[in-house]
Structure 1
Amino acid sequence: MAGPSRKQMLRFLGQLGAFILTRFGFWNCFSMLMLFAERADSKRKPDIHVPYLYIDMGVAVLCASFMSFGVKRRWFALAAAMQLAISTYASYIGEQVHYGDWLKVRMYSRALAIIGGFLVLASGAGEVYRQKARSRSMQSTGQVFLGIYLICMVYSLRHSNEDRQAYLNHIAGGELTLMLIEVLFGVLALAFLTGYYIRMAAQILTTILPLVILLIDGNLGYWHNNRKVEFWNQMKLIGHNVGIFGAVLILATDG
Structure 2
Amino acid sequence: MAAPSRKKALRFFSQFGAFILTRFGFWNCFSMLMLFAERADVKRKPDIEVPYLYIDMGVSVLCASFMSFGVKRRWFALGAAIELAFSTYVSYVGGRVHYGDWLKVRMYSRALAIIGGFLVLASGAGEVYRQKPRTRSLQSTGQVFLGIYLICVVYSLQHSQEDRQAFLNHIPGGEITIQLLVLVFGVLALSFLSGCYVRLSAQILATLLPLVVLFIDGNLGYWHHTRRVEFWNQMKLIGQNVGIFGAVLILATDG
| Counterpart for residue 139 of structure 1 | 139
Q: Distance in 1 between matches of 2:134 and 2:2?
A: 33
Aligned residues: 255
TM superposition shift of 1:247:
0.1
Alignment of 1:12-23 (within 5 A): 12-23=12-23
> Once the two structures are superposed, what CA deviation does each residue of 1:165-211 show, in whole Å capped at 9, x if it has no partner?
00000111100110000000000000000000000000000000000
3-state SS in 2 of match to 1:240: helix
Matches within 5 A, 1:1-255: 5-255=5-255
2:238, 2:172 → 1: CA distance? 23
Q: Partners in 2 of 1:134 and 1:28 — Cα distance?
A: 27
AA aligned opposite 2:18: A
Give, as a single letter, the amino acid of the residue that structure 2 aligns with 1:88: T
- What's the CA shift for 1:156? 0.3
Q: What SS class does the counterpart of residue 117 from structure 2 fall into?
A: helix
Aligned mates of 2:210, 2:114 — CA distance in 1: 16
Give the residue type in structure 1 aligned to 2:116.
G
Q: Which amino acid aligns with 2:251?
A: L
Partners in 2 of 1:62 and 1:2 — Cα distance? 40
Q: Report the alpha carbon displacement of residue 3 of structure 1 after superposing the two structures with TM.
A: 11
Instruction: Provide the TM-score with structure 1 as the length reference.
Output: 0.99
Q: Counterparts of 2:13 and 2:150 in 1: how far apart (Å)?
A: 22
Segments of 5+ residues of structure 2 without an aligned counterpart are none
Q: Alignment identity in percent?
A: 82
Q: What is the SS of the residue equivalent to 2:131?
A: coil
Divergent runs of 4+, >2 A: 1-4
**Secondary structure, counterpart of 1:54 in structure 2:** helix
Letter in 2 for 1:116: G
User: Quick one: which amino acid aligns to residue 114 of structure 1?
Assistant: I
Letter in 2 for 1:31: S
**Alignment-mate amino acid for residue 52 of structure 1:** Y
TM-score after normalising by structure 2: 0.99
How far did residue 110 of structure 1 move? 0.1
Q: Which residue identity lines up with residue 165 of structure 1 in the other structure? A: Q
For 1:49-69, what per-residue CA distance to the aligned partner results, in whole angstroms no more than 9, with x for missing partners? 001000000000000000000
Taking only aligned residues, the RMSD between alpha carbons, in angstroms, comes to: 1.2
| Equivalent-residue separation in structure 2 for 1:4 and 1:144 (angstroms) | 32
CA drift of 1:4 comes to 7.0
2:174 partner amino acid? G
Distance 1:164 1:254 in 2: 33
Whole-Å separation in 2 of the counterparts to 1:234 and 1:214: 13
